[in-house]
Copies of this chain bind each other. A is one copy, B any other.
Amino acid sequence: MKFGGTSVADLSKMRNAASRIQSEVEDGNNVIVTVSAMAGTTNKLIDKVKEISSLYDAREYDAIVSSGENVSAGLMALQLQSMGINARSWQGWQIPMKTTDHHSNSRIEEIDIENLIKKFNSGMQVAVVAGFQGISSNSRITTLGRGGSDTTAVALAAAFKADLCDIYTDVDGVFTTDPRITENAKKLAQISYEEMLELASLGAKVLQTRSVELAMRYKVKLRVLNSFVEGSGTLVCDEEDIMEKRIVSGITCSKDEAKLTLMGIKDKPGMAGMVFDCLSKANINVDMIIQNISDDGLTDVTFSCPTSQVDVASQALEQGKSNENFNYSKLVVDKYVAKISIVGIGMRSHSGVAQTMFKALGQENINIKVISTSEIKISVLIDRKYLELAVQILHDAFELEKAQN
């Protein structure tokens, strides 16, 4: 069971979470609980770190920001004890939860399960594990990136071959789209790992992408549930286990996208490589890429990136020009675009999904600026002002209001 920051935001919410743990214990289960820091704690710590220096040592950052989870874990253990449950807290180094040395963005390499097993065998009913953290090979504290407690929970579930991994959050489950955009949005009863992975990558913040990857790899039965409202949540599982197969399961959108077009690039091998080498060195998260057909030895390259990175990207490209093999005539920036994506495993076997999408948008005169597809996803860039409209009409077009919830 994993409880996010809003689920342990104060002691009364912690009591609520503890009572959910209690009923699992009363059902005779051994439980490993993963907790996040109390909502707001981690951001406050990060602010302090950044106030000292923007170029901070990630090892110290990790040592500092991991403290919030230690506090939650201890408090949750005390709360459970006060309810008569044999519980104790575990920090990353105590388990130990071994990770790579990539501070502030580590990956779990190995979980030593022996210590916890021994404790379970000697009467411990609940192990409360501080999420988000681990230790490197030279015994320094590491963290797993924002949302990393999801990954801690899934990794523990995989290591212990848990029957179930319940992720408690402040929403009822995974929705067909953001319920703030259309009231037709429906909670999904089930979703496949692959779809969840696309949704998480596209910015649906309900689960950390890496946790979904891990769950898929180790076949962890993952449920997303609301801490505060009773409900069956959403089960993330194997494609084969899904009863109702849908063509499209969800629609995501992101409004902080920008489209950049480099005009007048020499159309010869290696040019695209140079462009994206420039951008990669400047740590730009390039998302979609298109290269237009060339007819005069010159071509245009279009890509999208987060709006916040436009200035850094422009600068990096300008500086890249000093390399005499690399040149372009003009950089055209459109900061007012949004990305809409439809995701569904049904796309693999059904043709006409793209057509339905483009037709629906076309009927509302929404111009598609860039298209990118994967096996189970179609993403388009459109004018930002059409974002809500586009989500609503696509939700209708694919009849997502009929999803089983």
Chain A: residues with CB nearer than 8 A to chain B?
Answer: 11, 45, 48-49, 51-53, 56-57, 59-61, 63-64, 67-68, 70-71, 73-75, 77-79, 81-82, 88-89, 91, 93-94, 139-141
Interchain CA distance A48-B8 in the complex, whole Å: 13
Query: Is there an interface contact between B94 and A139, defined as CB atoms closer than 8 Å?
Result: yes
Query: Is there an interface contact between A48 and B89, defined as CB atoms closer than 8 Å?
Result: no
- Give 9 closest A-B pairs by Cβ, nearest first: A64-B74, A67-B67, A63-B74, A53-B82, A60-B74, A52-B78, A60-B77, A60-B78, A67-B70
Query: Is there an interface contact between B75 and A89, defined as CB atoms closer than 8 Å?
Result: no
Q: A48: nearest residue on chain B (CB-CB)?
A: B75
> A18 CB to closest chain B CB, in angstroms?
10
Q: For A78, what are the chain B residues with a Cβ–Cβ distance below 8 Å?
A: 49, 52-53, 56-57, 60-61, 64
Interchain CA distance A61-B94 in the complex, whole Å: 16
Query: Is there an interface contact between B67 and A53, defined as CB atoms closer than 8 Å?
Result: no
Q: For A75, what are the chain B residues with a Cβ–Cβ distance below 8 Å?
A: 48-49, 52, 60, 64
Interchain CA distance A59-B88 in the complex, whole Å: 9
User: Residue among A51, A63, A75, A141 with the most chain B CB within 10 A?
Assistant: A63
Interchain CA distance A81-B57 in the complex, whole Å: 8
Q: For A74, what are the chain B residues with a Cβ–Cβ distance below 8 Å?
A: 49, 60-61, 63-64
Interchain CA distance A68-B45 in the complex, whole Å: 11
Interchain CA distance A79-B45 in the complex, whole Å: 14
**Which single member of B64, B77, B91 contacts A71 (CB below 8 Å)?**
B64
**Which single member of B52, B67, B68 contacts A82 (CB below 8 Å)?**
B52
Interface CB pairs A-B, < 8 A, 14 = A45-B71, A48-B71, A48-B75, A49-B74, A52-B82, A60-B74, A60-B77, A61-B74, A63-B73, A63-B74, A63-B77, A64-B75, A67-B71, A93-B93
Interchain CA distance A68-B64 in the complex, whole Å: 9
Q: For A49, what are the chain B residues with a Cβ–Cβ distance below 8 Å?
A: 74-75, 78
> A125 CB to closest chain B CB, in angstroms?
14
Query: Is there an interface contact between B94 and A79, defined as CB atoms closer than 8 Å?
Result: no
Interchain CA distance A53-B82 in the complex, whole Å: 7
Interchain CA distance A210-B139 in the complex, whole Å: 30
> A73 CB to closest chain B CB, in angstroms?
7
Q: For A68, what are the chain B residues with a Cβ–Cβ distance below 8 Å?
A: 67
Interchain CA distance A63-B71 in the complex, whole Å: 7
Q: A72: nearest residue on chain B (CB-CB)?
A: B64
Q: For A45, what are the chain B residues with a Cβ–Cβ distance below 8 Å?
A: 71
> A230 CB to closest chain B CB, in angstroms?
25
Q: For A141, what are the chain B residues with a Cβ–Cβ distance below 8 Å?
A: 91
> A86 CB to closest chain B CB, in angstroms?
10
Query: Is there an interface contact between B11 and A51, defined as CB atoms closer than 8 Å?
Result: yes
Q: A56: nearest residue on chain B (CB-CB)?
A: B78
Interchain CA distance A111-B68 in the complex, whole Å: 27
Interchain CA distance A91-B64 in the complex, whole Å: 11
> A247 CB to closest chain B CB, in angstroms?
49
Interchain CA distance A51-B78 in the complex, whole Å: 10
Interchain CA distance A75-B70 in the complex, whole Å: 17
Given contacts A11-B51, A57-B81, A63-B73, 9 further A-B contacts (CB under 8 A): A11-B48, A49-B78, A60-B75, A60-B78, A60-B88, A64-B75, A64-B78, A67-B71, A94-B140
Query: Is there an interface contact between A64 and B60, defined as CB atoms closer than 8 Å?
Result: no
Q: For A63, what are the chain B residues with a Cβ–Cβ distance below 8 Å?
A: 70, 73-74, 77, 89, 91
Q: A51: nearest residue on chain B (CB-CB)?
A: B11
Interchain CA distance A164-B67 in the complex, whole Å: 31
> A272 CB to closest chain B CB, in angstroms?
39
